[in-house]
Amino acid sequence: MKKIILSSIVLFAVSCKDNRPQQNKEPEIMIKGDQATIPENIPIFKKIKTQVVAEQEHSDGVISAGTIQAIPNHYAEIASPFSGRITRSFIQLGQHISAGSPLFEILSSDYFSVQKDYTDALNDVQLAEKNYRRQQDLVRHGVGIQKELDEAETDFKNKKTSLSNAASALKVYNSKAGGIGSPLIVRAPINGEIISNKIVNGQYLKGDADPVMIIAELSKVWISGDVKEKDIRFVNTGDQVSVKVSAYPDRNISGKVYHINEIVDEDTRSIKVLIECDNPDRKLKPGMYATVNFSTTPEKTVMIPVTALMQQDSFQYVWVKIGRNQYAKRSVTTGETDQKTVRITSGLKPGEIIMTEGGIYMLDAK
């Protein structure tokens, strides 16, 4: 009896299972090659968003790291031109001076030789001139010899040349002719500020010693930066640039491109660019690091949302709408990108419609 009841229950259960309504299988995204069809009656369809491709004004930002430096002709390292002993200093650190101002004086036997050469040359010229005038007077009165006059004239000219050379030697050291034994006064070659001073009165300097003083005029400075070879087409002499230094993060500093080097560095594939900046308060110090942002001329280009761009290994692509619910995978080449948009350099044309959201669902579709 129990077996009959159990068999009836099993048959009833099987009968109920067979009589349940058959559920239809949910449609899916259909992928065939590089094309996808998305049925309208699936939840994913509502998550798909599209956008018409359009050109817009875009400026390629070129950023370079740089170092602040003094302008070469506004910068001078002062060393002693001769071996000798410093007897006096006329300046102090931080002092502003003019070109020609005395810096220090030095007693030097080598300088004494230069002085002696000038003095001897001066005496020789005076004697040669007297002899030349005498020969002229003799010839004029008919008792002189023309040959001796010519020789006196030649000797006078040679002696004047020697004097000019000796005077030039003194001028090289910005020194005036003085008595033998007088000290050499070293003078400033440029206007500026004493930014380094190692002079000690009484110290002995050798002729090949390191500079004892540095003068710099820092109301303007250069920033030396390196621009990648691929970006140099965006940089032109005279372009305005913005500069940031870590020491003054809230300060807006402007400058302009002063010079673009003609040679590419083969190791870094970059080109040296000099930017000139005003520095009236001397806040920009030589040796500081700076970030230079070059302003480039805006041009029309295709920009799309970063959400539209898909990546598969090294392959970048977008989904382009080709029908009501159909999309095709299209390879694209990209340029600069920011947090929201990416530049498309090839692969898309204005007027085409692309999938901007939902492309991620295609990755799992079969």
| CATH number of the domain within which 256 lies | 2.40.30.170
Please determine, for residue 237, whether its predicted confidence score (pLDDT) is greater than 80: yes
Note whether 39 and 88 are same-domain residues. Answer: no
Residue 215, classed as helix, strand or coil, is: strand
Note whether 137 and 164 are same-domain residues. Answer: yes
| pLDDT value at residue 12 | 45
| pLDDT value at residue 174 | 59
| pLDDT value at residue 13 | 44
Note whether 260 and 334 are same-domain residues. Answer: no
Please determine, for residue 171, whether its predicted confidence score (pLDDT) is greater than 80: no
Please determine, for residue 105, whether its predicted confidence score (pLDDT) is greater than 70: yes
Note whether 194 and 238 are same-domain residues. Answer: no
Amino acid at 294: F
Torsion region of 159: left, alpha or beta (phi above 0 gives left; psi -120 to 50 gives alpha): alpha
CA distance linking residue 86 with residue 109, whole number of Å: 13
Note whether 172 and 235 are same-domain residues. Answer: no
Note whether 250 and 209 are same-domain residues. Answer: no
Last residue of a domain, one of 294, 316, 340: 294
CATH for 343 = 2.40.420.20
CATH for 141 = 2.40.50.100
Strand partners, 336: none
What confidence tens digit (pLDDT) does each residue in 256-277 have? Answer: 999 999 999 999 999 999 999 9
| pLDDT value at residue 30 | 82
Please determine, for residue 24, whether its predicted confidence score (pLDDT) is greater than 80: no
| pLDDT value at residue 26 | 56
- The percentage of the chain sitting over the pLDDT mark of 90, rounded to a whole number, equals 49
Note whether 148 and 250 are same-domain residues. Answer: no
Of the CA atoms within 13 Å of residue 278, those in its CB half-sphere come to 6
Last residue of a domain, one of 215, 250, 268: 215
Please determine, for residue 250, whether its predicted confidence score (pLDDT) is greater than 90: no
Instruction: Examine residue 119 and state whether it is found in any structural domain, yes or no.
Output: yes
CA distance linking residue 297 with residue 58, whole number of Å: 8
Instruction: Examine residue 8 and state whether it is found in any structural domain, yes or no.
Output: no
Instruction: Examine residue 274 and state whether it is found in any structural domain, yes or no.
Output: yes
Q: In which band, very low, low, confident or very high, does the pLDDT at 364 lie, cut at 50, 70 and 90?
A: low
Please give the sequence-ordered ranges of beta strands (E in DSSP) within 132-191, or none if there are none: 184-187
Count of domains for the chain: 3
Four-point Cα dihedral 185, 188, 194, 196, nearest 10: -70
Note whether 140 and 204 are same-domain residues. Answer: yes
Instruction: Examine residue 5 and state whether it is found in any structural domain, yes or no.
Output: no
Please determine, for residue 9, whether its predicted confidence score (pLDDT) is greater than 70: no
Last residue of a domain, one of 236, 271, 294: 294
Q: Which tokens go with 325?
A: 């619910």
Note whether 42 and 69 are same-domain residues. Answer: no
Instruction: Examine residue 2 and state whether it is found in any structural domain, yes or no.
Output: no
Instruction: Examine residue 197 and state whether it is found in any structural domain, yes or no.
Output: yes
Q: In which band, very low, low, confident or very high, does the pLDDT at 10 lie, cut at 50, 70 and 90?
A: very low
Beta pairing, strands 62-70 & 289-294: antiparallel
CA distance linking residue 90 with residue 56, whole number of Å: 64
CA distance linking residue 125 with residue 161, whole number of Å: 9
Instruction: Examine residue 178 and state whether it is found in any structural domain, yes or no.
Output: yes
CA distance linking residue 212 with residue 197, whole number of Å: 6
Read out DSSP for 37-75?
E--TTSHHHHH-EEEE--EEEE---EEEEEEEEE-GGGE
Least confident of 43-52, 55-64, 302-311: 55-64
Note whether 241 and 195 are same-domain residues. Answer: no
Instruction: Examine residue 1 and state whether it is found in any structural domain, yes or no.
Output: no
Note whether 151 and 256 are same-domain residues. Answer: no
Q: In which band, very low, low, confident or very high, does the pLDDT at 52 lie, cut at 50, 70 and 90?
A: very high
Tokens 């230069």 found at = 114
| pLDDT value at residue 8 | 45
CB 305 within 8 A of CB 51: yes
User: What range does the domain containing 285 cover?
Assistant: 63-73+217-294
**Beta-carbon contacts of residue 259 (< 8 Å; ≥ 6 apart):** 237, 273, 274
**Beta-carbon contacts of residue 79 (< 8 Å; ≥ 6 apart):** 205, 209, 210, 211, 212
Average pLDDT, integer, range 310-325: 89
Least confident of 97-101, 294-298, 308-312: 294-298
Note whether 142 and 209 are same-domain residues. Answer: yes
Q: In which band, very low, low, confident or very high, does the pLDDT at 11 lie, cut at 50, 70 and 90?
A: very low
CA distance linking residue 295 with residue 239, whole number of Å: 7
Tokens 């870094």 found at = 268
